[in-house]
Amino acid sequence: MSEPRGPVDSSRVPRYAGPATFARLPRLDEVGRADVAVVGVPFDSGVSYRPGARFGPAAVREASRLLRPYHPALGVAPFELAQVADAGDIACNPFDIGEAVETVQHAASALMAGGTRLVTIGGDHTIALPLLRAAAREHGPVALLHFDAHLDTWDTYFGAEYTHGTPFRRAVEEGLLDTSALTHIGTRGPLYSSRDLDEDHRLGFGVITSADVMRRGVDEIADALRDRVGDRPLYVSVDIDVLDPAHAPGTGTPEAGGLTTRELLELLRALPPSHLIGADVVEVAPAYDHAEITSIAASHIAYDLVTLLAVAK
C-alpha cells in the first residue's frame, strides 16, 4: 500500500493560497480512498433561533489552513498514520428537512462503506441523527458522548420531529444508541421545565454540566467518561455552543457559562482512540463570529478528532 498523501507543503504554497480543503489535505477524489474523511454538511433548516450554520463547513475549512501535520499533545503525525482526505460537502435540500435527513444518511453510508470513518462538519445538529443511523448500520448501537450546552432530547418543536433540538431522542427511539453509555457534557442554562431533565434521564442519558467540569476538573471528568464508554463503539458529537460565548460567539443558540476551548480539547484527547468510530462538529454560524474565533476553535476540535481516528486506524 502506498504512503498516505498529506497536506500541501506550506514551504512551497503559502497557507493563505490554494483551495481551502480541511487542513489543506487532498480531496477524496485525488487519493481514491481514505481511512478518515472530513465531510461538510451545509444545512441549517432545523435551527430554532439564529440561522447561518449552513456556512459552517466553509468557515471551518478556511480556519483550518493554519493547522500543522504534527500533534504534539498526542505525540503523533496523524496524516502519516492514515490517509485523511476532504470528501467535500453533502448537498441536501434546504426546504425539506425529511429529505435532507435521508440524503445525509445515504451519503454518509456510502462514504463509510469501504471502512472510512467520518468527521463531519455542520451544519446544525439535526444532521447528527442521519449520521448516527449510518454509524449504527455499520457498528450496531453506539455509545455517545454529546458535548453541548443543550440536551437536544426534546420531543418536537412546533410539531416537527426533526430539528436541531430533537436528534438524540429520535436516535434513542430508533435503537441507534447504547442507552447504558450516553452522556451529555457541558450542559447549562435555563430549561423549559424540570421535566426536560426527567425525560432526558428516562432516555438513558447522564449529565455532566459545565459547572461539574469546572469544579471536578478535566482529569476526573475524563476518567468518568472513559468508564461510561467502556469498550463500546463510540460516537462523539460536538455542538460548538458547548464552549462559552467568549470562546465561540459564532453559533445559533449561545449560553453563558460554558467550557473553555482548552477544557474541551483536553477532554477529547483523553478519549480512547480504539473505540472511536465517528464524530461531528456542528452549529458554527460564522455570521455571528468575530476574528474567526469560533471557526478556529472548531477546526482544532475537528483536527483532534481526526487525529484520534487516525491513531485508531
For 64-96, write each residue's pLDDT tens digit: 999 999 999 999 999 999 999 999 999 999 999
Q: What is the mean pLDDT of each run of 10 residues along the chain (313 residues)?
A: 87 92 97 97 97 98 97 97 98 97 98 96 98 98 98 95 97 98 97 96 98 98 97 98 98 98 98 95 97 98 98 88
Q: Which three cell numbers stand for residue 187?
A: 450542559
Residue 313 has what pLDDT? Answer: 78
3-state secondary structure of 191: coil
Cα separation, 93 vs 103, whole angstroms: 8
CA dist list (Å): 77 to 5, 68, 269:
12, 9, 14
pTM of the model: 0.97
CB 124 within 8 A of CB 252: yes
Q: Which CATH number fits domain 22-311: 3.40.50.300, 3.40.800.10, 3.40.50.920, 3.40.30.10?
A: 3.40.800.10
CB neighbours of residue 158 within 10 Å: 6
